[in-house]
A and B are shown apart, each in its own frame.
Chain A
């Protein structure tokens, strides 16, 4: 009963790009990226679709590219969703064991889980994920299963992610119309965390901040379990827009100034003189004082990071042991890690720009973190969902003990 190679597809309809990653999960759980289809997004703003037909065209294009690159016919995808309406909250379900049953049974645990999952969410919201964090037995933390232990009360901690139903439906509808099946929907930062963090990071405490084009998504892991997640509707587009508003430059120029010249470190050495954009003939087209440019960028990013910090539970930043992982296109901004360190005071890990191009390089590119994270998420889900071996499986494994 050796597990077969499985192909998963991750799709992220982002504000700046629509990206589809085809990954192969091998029998030994290694992941190989077969191909990436990426196209510039249109019709998406702050992580949410506002122009349906444009977004559909982009998705079609990305789908064709991904199929081309990977030589796989894509039938279903894991979809990452984001948007300011999506929120993560923690809830604890407490179940008191009935009299005469001193030992925790699976039913009791299940009951506690059910209670914990019942979070009051606004009427128009739907659940995205109920993620189990850990169990408590009589007030003591039991991060693994408490089944079989003596106890009086079982508590289950859940992190429940919910968002406005219709907006999530819009993304699903878009994908279904390709036509593609949606295997699962995943809140973006949770997918990103699968990619960015390993088990040890999560255990020690880590914060993933994914600053994309239109949104900033974050997920905080403490003690191996997710503690907070959310989305702030501010991203790289806002920086471009800020430059445009402050300097009056057109968007295209503002964008290339941001990418090529911007610096968020507040280091005065980086703010000397003017930043110039030259046209193809070498003439200076645009000239902006670096001091202004950098200040605009810095203030925006600083505010965004502070908003993230503000939304995290109290004292949780101090509990982060592993560090803060920055991903997303905007995290490539020069001086960003200095800024992040200033605000959070924790170790900052930031992916560097890949030096070589090619499929392999994509692993390192923070822009693909979410889509690749989706593959990992799919892989984890696969293992969780895999049926425990039944009788036949057990007999089978007697004959073939090398599988699984």
Chain B
């Protein structure tokens, strides 16, 4: 069932993707997407207001209602927005023509957004595109009128669009620290939306080992009148699986995972470097299982991207009916406690190689690395529809890999009692021991189980990309990737910064700054008494030291695990002996990272491992840059 031939129909080139920002809020989101860099995709801004349109960075711009509003806005009147977009129907139609996927970013509640969004959606649908709408709902303080307008538009969009992702602005306040300005709050909100658009594109556009496609995305978002639950996390380092999950759950849209417990369908997408192990996936999924209900439908997808290097990114997408969200408990403290401890347990599985066999069949264990070299950063095979291994032999390392891979597959197949002579057997025996295979996986094999099979052509040349773990699927231009990474990192880091700031804030006795007021307006909306969200209560350091001390070092990024392999027998001990030191390109890595430290929360605060006596292992007692737990006698001598 593993289709090794890459069917061109299954690959959606990024050029077939159009991102449309509609209205003022939509243009802002688009701007954020443009700033964050999304290569390959076309951006189109639609607005009635010529001023905001003029300053927009998007590639394409269409003014709505040039005759009707004469370059002014709609003044919050959806009817005007409706008529304005009808005026510009033809240029919009022309711009959308031939696009496979259209993402529509819109802020509902205003005139242009609410009035025009349904029309634009309809046009896009008529042009045969798959339309995913990202809509933000207005703040509660904007009043009932706007809310009603937004609701009306949302109802129409729910019918018209293929998938509807809703963000509630009220929750956006949780993205930023109280003291940060309103500008930052909106930037964070736009960033969040941008991040989720990227994640969706990554999901849809790039086939993975275990593929999830549009169909899965749709079923994850299928609930009518729903709020999107979205979380994306990235981590690298020793317990990156857990960290990535934690980062993903830190998304305010997930509320530390508490909201997931009502989810019917959860889409989980993992993307890792070549050293992504099955056990990491297992570990992560085990932790995740504690958060989602048992009967929930988990759509699991995994992709290997050599450009991810040592990093692992996790994307969670789900939807909740709106009414259940309102009632969902918001005590994230309790959930944080739930998360932490269970996460620690499965790490034991990493330590002894023998436990490998306990968790999954050895064959399954080897199957995953077998895929690893198969992933590729580019799409050279697009031109060759024949079985992809024929395209490989120019790379010397790949040729031994190919027959061997087949040998593994055969052993897998034997286990599954199908001794078919086909080289490439069903991939599911590998997936099944650990992951409940979603029905859609087995149902649509051709789409789901695409395996990429071309090695990175030149490892030396690829090194930078290897270390720069990036979000975006298709790796065309390395520089652009790096920029992406730079942009993407803050999303993950925001939480950590918030935590760090929280702890400092707790000790610093400052009068709350004026910016608090803005924060409190959010707070007032999100019933302030009950919400006790204290991210600093999650003691990362403890978790780290307690849980994953024994984790073996991962295979360094950029090393081709297949190069030394001669035969399958040779390979088996190599895999079992995971901590075996392999030559590592690490020394080059730091240069490329430019001082960004995605791993290790607050590591920069622990003052270079000075002994701290009875306060050892506690959070640093920092006040005005000095750790109060250290003797002033020693501090001043330094």
Contact = CB atoms under 8 A, between A and B. Distances in A.
A84 B537 CA distance: 15
Contacts of A302: 632
Interface string A240-275: 111011100001000000000000000000000000
B181 to A, nearest CB: 16
Contacts of B531: 123-124
Given A124-B533, A241-B614, A300 B631 contact: yes
Contact of A233 (B614, B621, B631): B621
Nearest to A231: B509
Contacts of B621: 46, 84, 233-234
B631 A166 contact: no
Given A85-B506, A87-B509, A241-B615, A124 B634 contact: no
Nearest to A310: B624
A299 B631 contact: yes
Question: What range describes how many residues of A lie at the interface?
Answer: 35 or more
Nearest to B505: A122
B631 A230 contact: no
B507 A84 contact: yes
A323 to B, nearest CB: 23
Could you say which of B520, B633, B634 has the most chain A C-beta atoms within 10 Å of its C-beta? B633
A124 B332 CA distance: 11
B143 interface: no
A311 interface: yes
B512 A166 contact: no
B512 A164 contact: no
Interface string A217-232: 0000000000000101
A317 interface: no
Given A123-B533, A233-B507, A242 B628 contact: no
A300 B633 CA distance: 7
B615 to A, nearest CB: 6
Contacts of B614: 237, 240-241, 244, 251
Contacts of A242: 613, 631-634
Contacts of A89: 511-512
B629 interface: yes
Contacts of A244: 613-614
Nearest to B517: A120
A307 interface: yes
A84 B622 CA distance: 11
Nearest to A301: B632
B509 A299 contact: no
B633 A124 contact: no
Interface string A78-118: 00000011010100000000000000000000000000000
A246 B631 contact: yes
Interface of B: 178, 333, 505-507, 509, 511-512, 516-517, 519-520, 523, 528, 531-534, 537, 611-615, 618, 621, 623, 628-634, 636
Given A241-B631, A245-B611, 13 more contacts: A45-B618, A84-B507, A124-B534, A165-B532, A166-B534, A232-B623, A233-B628, A234-B628, A238-B628, A241-B629, A242-B632, A242-B634, A246-B634
23 contacts: A89-B511, A89-B512, A123-B519, A123-B531, A166-B333, A166-B532, A166-B534, A230-B509, A234-B621, A241-B629, A241-B631, A244-B614, A245-B611, A245-B612, A245-B613, A245-B634, A251-B613, A295-B633, A296-B631, A299-B632, A300-B631, A303-B632, A311-B509
